[in-house]
């Protein structure tokens, strides 16, 4: 059966172009009412232009869909509250949030990076994701329904320049895990997942003409959108997961723990660490923790679960 979003209300941030536009278009084609947000600033986070969001909302309406536009920044409390209030006023609910807004201003050697670059990257991807989640969370919690998709980046695996962007994109993963674990713990029908996309966009122009034209051929934003849409659908089977998506492919990304080496607390010395380092490094027998309690040492003789129940 064809999957639809009939009756659902979605907010897609940074949807004035690139991936966000593709997500918004697909959700609308499948029946969602979509608030298209985009600040419309330049690459370095300067300026604002609400015509980008307006153009995509027009495009959706032109194709027979339902959309409204918003030109606020996600990076502050007032902007995030206004975005959510606009959707609530128009349609009375928010079922879906895709935190897609992002930019890369930090690049080059660390000694040349400015604090403004660090702060811009953190403010948009990390603070913006936090602010938008905060602004929708209570009504999703109270209505016992919500689907949130956060956007990380492959830069989180290690990127050779700039620190602000991968740091901010790591934060989106942490936010995803924290909210998913909280919703699970309280038995809420709220799912929070995360993607690391690859797609041609104005961001990939930065990589040079050759890479950009190959990206346009192999990684159109539309080839990532169906995975993003599935992850915010009612039937999504997972919570707190990360996927690498793009070019028609999707695959799970996870953080695992190896069994490592266990010594007696009072006996572990540096030489034992040296001599057993390979065992700690070996991925054999790894596990994937479901939450921070799961990631603690189950055999250490402490009732971590009792402790954990108190900190969630
Ligand atoms: P894009 O530059 O076309 O889209 C990002 C949009 O976010 C822009 O339209 C921009 O105006 C908007 N934006 C920036 N700051 C904002 C703010 N404060 N409030 C509201 N909107 C704001 O780039 P693209 O490639 O479509 O990126 C979408 C997301 O995917 C970003 O979060 C990016 O970091 C992430 N990403 C993209 C990759 C790619 O291969 N294209 C790779 C890894 C991550």
3-state DSSP call for residue 41?
Answer: coil
Binned at pLDDT 50, 70 and 90, residue 312 comes out as: low
| Residue nearest atom 29 of ligand 1, based on CA coordinates | 100
Ligand 1 atom with least separation from CA of 38? 21
Gap between the Cα atoms of 165 and 118, Å rounded: 8
Check residue 294 and give its pLDDT. Answer: 80
Structure tokens at 158: 């290690």
* 146 CA → ligand 1 middle, Å: 22
Binned at pLDDT 50, 70 and 90, residue 205 comes out as: confident
Check residue 111 and give its pLDDT. Answer: 93
Question: Ligand 1 test: best mutation among 79, 101, 168, most atoms within 8 Å of CB?
Answer: 101
The mean pLDDT of 97-117, rounded to a whole number, is 92
The mean pLDDT of 250-266, rounded to a whole number, is 95
* 269 CA → ligand 1 middle, Å: 47
Check residue 308 and give its pLDDT. Answer: 61
Check residue 98 and give its pLDDT. Answer: 99
CA 273 to chain CA centroid, nearest Å: 36
Nearest of 131, 198, 210 to residue 171 by alpha carbon = 131
Residue 44: how many CB atoms within 10 A of its CB? 12
Q: Which residues of 97-122 are buried (b: 16+ CB within 10 A; e: fewer)?
A: bbbbbbbbbbbeeeeebeeebbbbbb
- All structural domains of the chain, each given as residue ranges with its CATH number in brackets, are 9-253 (3.40.50.720), 265-309 (no CATH)
Please list the active-site residues: 165
Ligand 1 atom with least separation from CA of 52? 9
Binned at pLDDT 50, 70 and 90, residue 310 comes out as: low
Strands (E), the chain: 9-12, 33-37, 66-70, 96-99, 146-151, 190-197, 242-246, 249-253
* 15 CA → ligand 1 middle, Å: 8
Nearest of 226, 234, 188, 227 to residue 95 by alpha carbon = 234
Which residues form the pocket of ligand 1, taking CB atoms under 6 Å from any ligand atom? 13-14, 16-20, 37-41, 52, 73-75, 100-103, 124, 128, 151, 153-154, 197-199, 201-204
Angle (CA) 100 104 108, round 5°: 160
Nearest of 86, 118, 119, 124 to residue 102 by alpha carbon = 124
Question: Ligand 1 test: best mutation among 201, 224, 242, most atoms within 8 Å of CB?
Answer: 201
| Residue nearest atom 31 of ligand 1, based on CA coordinates | 102
pLDDT at position 280 over 90? yes
Residue 69: how many CB atoms within 10 A of its CB? 23
Ligand 1 atom with least separation from CA of 75? 18
* 93 CA → ligand 1 middle, Å: 25
- The mean predicted confidence, pLDDT, of the chain is 93
pLDDT cut 90: percent of the chain above it: 83
Check residue 207 and give its pLDDT. Answer: 77
Question: Ligand 1 test: best mutation among 197, 202, 231, most atoms within 8 Å of CB?
Answer: 197
Ligand 1 atom with least separation from CA of 128? 18
């Amino acid at each position: 059966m064809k999957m639809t979003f009939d009756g659902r209300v979605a907010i897609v941030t940074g949807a004035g172009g690139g991936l966000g536009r593709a997500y918004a278009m697909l959700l609308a084609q499948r029946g969602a009412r979509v608030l298209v947000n985009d600040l419309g600033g330049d690459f370095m986070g300067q300026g604002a232009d609400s015509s980008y969001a307006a153009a995509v909302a027009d495009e959706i309406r032109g194709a027979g869909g339902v959309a409204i536009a918003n030109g606020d920044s996600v990076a502050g409390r007032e902007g995030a509250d206004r975005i959510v209030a606009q959707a609530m006023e128009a349609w009375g609910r928010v079922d879906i949030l895709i935190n897609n807004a992002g930019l890369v201003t930090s690049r080059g050697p660390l000694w040349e990076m400015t604090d403004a670059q660090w702060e811009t990257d953190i403010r948009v991807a990390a603070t913006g994701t936090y602010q938008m989640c905060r602004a929708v969370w209570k009504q999703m919690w109270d209505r016992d329904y919500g689907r949130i998709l956060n956007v990380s980046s492959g830069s989180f695996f290690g990127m050779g320049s700039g620190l602000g962007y991968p740091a901010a994109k790591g934060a989106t993963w942490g936010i995803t895990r924290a909210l998913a674990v909280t919703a699970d713990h309280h038995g809420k029908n709220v799912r929070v997942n995360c993607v690391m996309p690859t797609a041609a966009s104005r961001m990939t122009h930065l990589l040079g003409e050759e890479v950009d034209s190959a990206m346009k051929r192999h990684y159109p934003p539309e080839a990532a959108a169906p995975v993003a849409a599935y992850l915010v659908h009612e039937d999504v089977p997972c919570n707190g997961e990360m996927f690498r998506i793009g070019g028609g492919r999707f695959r799970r990304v996870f953080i695992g723990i190896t069994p490592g080496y266990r010594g007696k607390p009072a006996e572990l010395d540096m030489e034992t660490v040296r001599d057993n380092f390979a065992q700690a490094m070996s991925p054999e027998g790894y596990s994937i923790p479901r939450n921070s309690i799961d990631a603690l040492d189950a055999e250490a003789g402490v009732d971590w679960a009792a402790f954990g129940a108190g900190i969630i």
